[in-house]
Amino acid sequence: QGQLAESGGGSVPAGGSLRLSCAASGYAYSTYCMAWFRQAPGKEREGVAASSYRTGRTFYADSVKGRFTISLDNAKDMLYLQMDNLKPEDTAKYYCAATSSTYCTGATLEEAYDIEYWGEGTLVTISS
């Protein structure tokens, strides 16, 4: 049974940076596509970024391209999301997700395709 545990959330002013971390256990995450999602209060869940260690391909939501960077550390079983130039509209609870697909695709973010495990989330608040 896979487990994912996020950390690194917090409150920063607009223009600031945060780095989210996701510790994976009980799961061969390096074989599969991993992703970050977020959900703001009163809004639907949104796919943010996805990456497969095996292929090296990354996918980003248009709203975060150029500001967020997803990365994987296979040696440490960690997934990261570096978030720069944060905006108030980035305020949300961020979730780490592991899929059962080797390859990430646009559907990973658009449809939460093949998500096998979810973390419990970490809250990010950006003040204007």
- Bridging pattern class, strands 33-39 and 92-99: antiparallel
CB 86 within 8 A of CB 77: no
Give the mean pLDDT of 99-112: 91
The predicted model gives 78-84 an average pLDDT of 96
Element (H, E) at 92: strand 92-99
Flag the least confident range among 17-21, 58-62, 104-108.
104-108
CA 28 to the chain's CA centroid: 17
pLDDT confidence band for 10 (50 / 70 / 90): very high
Highest mean pLDDT among 6-20, 27-41, 42-56: 6-20
Residue written as token pair 């639907």: 44
> Residues 6 or more apart from 44 whose CB is under 8 A from it?
none
CA separation for the pair 95, 77 (Å, rounded): 16
Q: Are 79 and 21 in contact (CB under 8 A)?
A: yes
The pLDDT assigned to 53 comes to: 82
pLDDT digit string (tens) for 20-39? Answer: 999 999 877 778 899 999 99
Residue showing tokens 């440490």: 76
Residue 36 near residue 70, CB atoms below 8 Å: yes
